Chain A
């Protein structure tokens, strides 16, 4: 088996646009707040997953991006659920919801932490949400970097696939903090898919720019 792996499909959600495999599929309204925009995308595609409304912004963004990524590239139907890895990173971890949680515990006289907020105070929960939705049971890892590290990501995921620990992978970068949001999720497989780009740092940076 060749050691070459491919970026088979991708979804990018940023700056009020949804880009799937180089096609702009949806554009938000001018000046729309991140949370409202992500909800618009969810409603536009009728994703119909009531738990969506309970998620924090970071998970909502990751969830919507993963749904649009997997809509036409159904890796969950082509691979065993144990053979699909998920490797995602970001720069701000879960700071957005951490801050919200901190505000509910900062006043001892008005101390009412919300369990529903607290459960999202870890960034890797977004991997859990994707895994639960798709019943994925493969390897999963969440990294925190200053910015999307294409070199590390490519090397790490290629190693997973080439060592037989996974047959495919949902990978990328999902950031949601202080009004900034950016989701770039892509699938890696041994076959080229629609993107037909080798899974290398150079190709990743060609797509994620």
Chain B
């Protein structure tokens, strides 16, 4: 799980162009939206694309996004549970 979290942090930094953010700056349990990383709605769409492109996971129900993208840890857990 820790390895996946680390990999995911790198992918998010690259995909979302978080230029001044380092992996160690991202708290595994901090909210991704609002506070924490302060991501916005376009970033949410990018994360959905990232899941599909890098892990083959389609988020069929947008309402699930709130739970999946709560933090890096919840995202990694979702990938672990759903990766094809």
- Asked if residues A112 and B17 are in contact (CB atoms below 8 Å), the reply is no
Contacts of A114 in B (CB 8 A): 46, 49
Tell me the interface secondary structure of chain A in the complex. helix
B59 at the interface (CB under 8 A from A): no
The interface on chain B, measured as residues whose beta carbon lies within 8 A of the other chain's beta carbons, has a size of: 13
The interface on chain A, measured as residues whose beta carbon lies within 8 A of the other chain's beta carbons, has a size of: 9
- Asked if residues A53 and B42 are in contact (CB atoms below 8 Å), the reply is no
B53 at the interface (CB under 8 A from A): yes
Contacts of A113 in B (CB 8 A): 49
Q: Which of B19, B38, B46, B49 contacts A53 (CB 8 A)?
A: B19
Contacts of B17 in A (CB 8 A): 53-54, 116
Q: Given A114-B46, A116-B43, A119-B42 in contact, is the A54-B53 Cβ separation under 8 Å? A: no
Chain A residues close to B by CB (< 8 Å): 50, 53-54, 112-116, 119
26 contacts between A and B (CB under 8 A): A50-B19, A50-B20, A50-B38, A53-B17, A53-B18, A53-B19, A53-B20, A54-B16, A54-B17, A54-B42, A112-B49, A112-B52, A112-B53, A113-B49, A114-B46, A115-B42, A115-B45, A115-B46, A115-B49, A116-B16, A116-B17, A116-B42, A116-B43, A116-B45, A116-B46, A119-B42
